[in-house]
Chain A
Amino acid sequence: MKVLVAIKRVVDPNVKVRVKADGSGVETANIKMAMNPFCEIAVEQAVRMKEAGTVTEIVVVSIGAPQCQETLRTALAMGADRAILVETGVEVQPLAVAKVLQAIVAKEAPGLVILGKQAVDDDCNQAGQMLAALLGWPQAAFVSKITLSGEHADVTREIDGGLEQLTVKLPAVMTADLRLNEPRYVTLPNIMKAKKKPLENVKPEALGVDIAPRLATLKVEEPPKRGAGVKLADVAELVNKLKNEAKVI
């Protein structure tokens, strides 16, 4: 079975982001970028399935600036077989991502699509579910376990208050949660090998997809800061403050 994995290039989650002086967005120039952590988990899952013999080919897709090639190369170094960059300078919102991926799925005909559950930049948590809707496929969002069995997949999903088990028909779209796996580190020999793997470049127009943004960002700002707190001497003082100052107990 062929698996398609969609990945996003984001500001490295360990970097503290800054709002641009004019409030138009977040400063991303000269900032360290990385593969979205949930997308790494999605790639890792596909690679493990291939190692287990249930998957024959892994295609990774990213949408965005030419620099997304670096992110795709990382996925190739992790074990993906080939990559597709859908190159655009436009801000690509989740519905547009889903439409682009729908067009790629039509060409590639994978048996399974895996995405990260959420990108840590815009925190939308939408693209996977939207793609499943456009394809008319079942979805398994926030999965922490996947077992493929012929025409079906048994999955465990993270829900509020615990876990849920579903059986979904294949083909399906799944989105990876934190506990699905722990992604591997890429090794130097694999980085060298990844440079020779195929990377195709396409434009959204060539796919016949309208990617114009639907939401306008009017401004971005930093949230209000919390006032400075007080360091207390001992537990007795803490109990006193909670009772008499904060009045929360």
Chain B
Amino acid sequence: MAILVVAEHDNKHLKPSVANTVAAATKLGGEISVLVAGSECGEAAAAAAKITGVAKVLVADAPHYAVPLAENMAALVVSIADRFTHILAPATGFGKNFMPRAAALLDVAQVSDISGIVSADTFVRPIYAGNVLATVQSKDRIKIITVRITAFDAAAGAAAAAAPLEKVAPVADSGLAQFKGHELTKLSRPELTAARVIVSGGRGMGSAENFKLLEALADKLGAAVGASRAAVDSGYVPNDYQVGQTGKIVAPELYIAVGISGAIQHLAGMKDSKVIVAINKDAEAPIFQVANYWLVEDLFKAVPELTAQL
């Protein structure tokens, strides 16, 4: 078996999702290559070569890979696909965008968002917002897979020796789409999907101003700040704070849900957290069904108290 992992990076640094995706590839067993497609992406490629379990890093360096446009990424993956039995990418905004495009060009199915590996052709994946787990088998010649990164712990430590780099010929720019710009949310705290602790607020926060209470708590804990869809839709915080089925899927060591009732779609995004704490004044809130510890208390009293006692 030969496995390709498509790396998510910003040309300098790898995203944490790469290590989780390599961890999933390791479970499959087989020789693992990592594809780093970028523009002047030498640093990212060198970082990929040091991940434990990686046998080779394929580097496609060209100006039109500066941003991973789906049309160009899919064409590049297809150009080298015949060398592999499995092609994996993280089920993040990055992988979800181009992987189905590559699968269709290869005329194979994609297995989306896998959370478990049964064998080389059989995988577990959550459906119905994580309320059901399906075990599916693919008979296609190449398995195209996106990986739920929270389900696979990143391999610890760096490799003893860096894996060799191999140049891959770029495929010409499709010219179908043009990148115009980014608006990235500035983060002074850890990224949601990489944080060890997350403090999340819901509609109960009442206003954008009140999220400062959570930020103070998060700063004490070195935590990321998240939110439920209700809080995002109310305009309290930007949409990339959203934890849930349609937002980010997270599984930190500690998840503190404040003023969040616990709609199914929110639970789907956080119920795999190791320890869940819920603070809500409504004793009937569904969030308590998944919480390890809960307080039925007014958050405007409990959160400052908690911040003070840490």
Residues of A participating in the B interface, judged by any CB pair closer than 8 Å = 11, 13, 16-17, 19, 26, 93-95, 98, 118, 120-134, 137-142, 144, 154, 158-169, 172, 177-179, 214-223, 226-227, 229-232, 234-236, 238-239, 241-242, 246, 248-249
Contacts and interface: CB of A to CB of B under 8 A. Distances in A.
B133 A223 contact: yes
Nearest to A227: B292
Contact of A226 (B98, B271, B294): B271
A130 B103 contact: yes
A249 B221 contact: yes
Interface residues of B, number: 90
Contacts of A95: 103-104, 107-110
Given A125-B96, A215-B109, A223-B130, A231 B296 contact: yes
Contact of A137 (B108, B125, B176): B176
Interface string B244-263: 01101000011000000000
Contacts of B309: 235-236, 239
A154 B15 CA distance: 28
A83 B253 CA distance: 49
A123 B264 CA distance: 14
A179 to B, nearest CB: 6
Contacts of B274: 248
Given A123-B129, A125-B100, A141-B70, A214 B177 contact: no
A247 B189 CA distance: 22
Contacts of A215: 109, 111, 136-138
A161 B240 contact: yes
Contacts, number: 244
A93 B292 CA distance: 38
Given A13-B264, A248-B254, 7 more contacts: A17-B128, A26-B132, A125-B100, A129-B101, A161-B191, A166-B177, A216-B139
A218 B138 contact: no
Classify the secondary structure of B's interface with A.
mixed
Contacts of B126: 123, 223
A161 B193 CA distance: 10
Given A17-B128, A95-B109, A161 B184 contact: yes
Nearest to B303: A235
A47 to B, nearest CB: 21
Given A19-B132, A158-B93, A248-B274, A165 B100 contact: no
Q: Give the 6 A-B CB pairs with smallest separation, nearest first.
A: A138-B176, A130-B104, A214-B109, A129-B100, A133-B104, A126-B100
A234 B295 contact: yes
A165 B181 CA distance: 5
A162 B103 contact: no
B295 A123 contact: no
Contacts of B276: 226, 229
Contacts of A169: 175-177
